Structures are given as C-alpha cells and as structure tokens.
Chain A
C-alpha cells in the first residue's frame, strides 16, 4: 500500500486550535500552564500550541523539550542504541499544570518514560497529555487528555507525522508495512 495522506497542513492546524481551546477550557485559562514537548516532533507541536494560545489569550506559555532516551524501558534490550539528546526545561515545573505534548500516541511506553523523566525534574501540580494522533494499541494504563485526531490503525500500519519545522512539510500519513517490521520496538 502506498503512503496515504490522512491529515494535511490545515487539518493539523485545525486540530491544534481545537486542542488549544480544550487545554484553556480544562485549566480555566492560561495561567500556570507550561508545555513540554517530547523530542523530536512533540517539541514543534508544543511550540505551535503555545503560539496559538498567545494569539488567543496574549499570554506567553513556557515551552520545554524532553529527551526520554535515558528513561526508555527497552534501553538494555535494544539491539541498537539511540542518540541521547538534550533535555531543555529552563523553568521550574513545580506547582505548574504541565501539558506533555507528543506527536503519535501508541503503546504508551514513551509516555511512561516521559512521566518518569518529569518527576525527576520537579513536582508539577498536574501532568496532562496532549497528542496530535492517537492510534490505539495501548500496552499500559495511560490515556491522553487532549487528542488532535483519533486514527484507528492496525499494528502493521505505520503512522508518520511530518512537521515543517523538522521535515519541511506538514502532513500525517499512513502506510502498511511488511508483517513483523513494526514489532521492532
């Protein structure tokens, strides 16, 4: 199956605007909120959400970035390694409502790793999860608070998020992969 486009640039923008509204509604405004994006593509998504809220509420929300490599549960069983990147959270997260942002929500294992990493950085008032795509197949009891788009998938399908900041283009695609390829986690 060739790559099929599920969301284009304006679909992504609309989904993010809606998520931004939901975040404001849930937290009764933008005070005391911070965004932390999971590397790589959670970071530009967090920046976009912050800029949407800046336009709506005239409030600057701090945005940090989180590298979860050191917290992965598969670090000792991987047959390959990942480059550790820098975590950059130049503000105190203690007593803040922290919105964790990621591109694709799948097994839940990255989110678990991210939660462990955040707890090491401080004690936020609450942690909420915002994702662009929820594709199902959870392996852990973790759910998202804000979802841009629910896309039911088969395990052998691959969801790819392209963002202009990283990939020069905005789109979300689905592609069927060969059997078993996706089991490499």
Chain B
C-alpha cells in the first residue's frame, strides 16, 4: 500500500450556505432551481442570510422554505407583498424579499404587487415568469403568449377571447416608488450571469433604502410546455423574449453596473 500523494485541494464550487442540503421537487430543466441558487449565492455574497426573511408564492415554489436556509413565511396566493409589507414595516433593518410566479404576482396578486411597488416598500421581488401555471398542470397564465397552447387555451391564446399577455414589470415601472426593474432569462449562461448581477443590484436597492425593486426572470417550464429542457431554453431565447424583451426596464438607482 503506497501512501496517498499530498494534493493541495482547493474548494472552487459548493452549495451556498443559503441553500439547504435537500433535493428539490422541481422538474428536470425547470428554471426554479437556477433561480434559487442565484438568490442564495447573492444572499451569501452580500452577507444577508442571518437577517433575511423570504416569502415564497403559492405555485411551484410554494415549498421553497424546504430549500432556502433562512427564515421564511408562506403567504396566501398572491399576497406575498402584503405579508412582506407587514414584516418590513415592523423590522425595517431586516432584509425582506418575495419570490413569486406569474400567477401569484400578475394575476391573483396584481393589486398587492402594484400597491406595494407604488408605496415604494423597501422590499425586493424576484419574479419567475414561465408563461404557464406549472403547479396546477399547465393552465393559462396572465403572461401566456399569444398563440401559446395551455390546458385552458385550446388552440392557443386568442387575444379577443383570453386577453393579452400582461407585462407587469413594465406596469409597475411607471411608479416613482419603484427604483429598479430588470428582466433577465434563465435560458443561457450569459443571461444567467446577467440575472445574478441584476438580483444583487435589486437587493442593494433595499439595503440602501432607495425603494422597491423587481427582477423578472424568464424561466423554462419543459414539463408544461411539453418540450425537452434544451428545446425549452431555445423557446425562451427565440420566442418568449419577443413578447418579454430582456434588459433594464427602469433604473433610477444611480449605481454603476
């Protein structure tokens, strides 16, 4: 038996402290896992974990408290920003963020979203837009694209019959209470790296007491889009961005990128 050679190992990649050692229930190719990781990395790198209170949505990410390794509280469907408002106003020195899907944020919770944003609550929202209702099995989302098939839009979304896809990020951006809104995608390396920068910047808005900030993440849902994970990423990159172009929607922070 020869002795083990003495290698000088250096850890270059690992699980962020803000993520628990747990398997997620997310489908293969789902954007939530990436989004969770980005949020956790940003919270770690900014040293926020021990002062963070997160509020997940009702939807696929409803169990996020099983994955994030900091204080979390469930809200009724669509109400995370109302719950977050109550927490942040009582604990203004803590870091409060909501993590919401398109149904939660832009359908049932539209009023809560617009008014929390308009009050300029010092809260950060991570908005996962996958243009479909994932948890309930593929029904139309407020963000479903025109022509897109959902289980409740047989033949595709018809604007006359089902209404237009809603761009809530653009809608809230008109309010002076909102200081930063950016849309990124979780479908390419470049966009994922950009998304991380955007999340950090949005978090900073809260820490610097500037106002409300939101990062929208276009997120693949291969299961309900009935595509492979690779096809789903391509669909985000080639189709979804035509309705929801990536980029900065509003930025009055004065931060240098």
Chain B binds chain A:
no
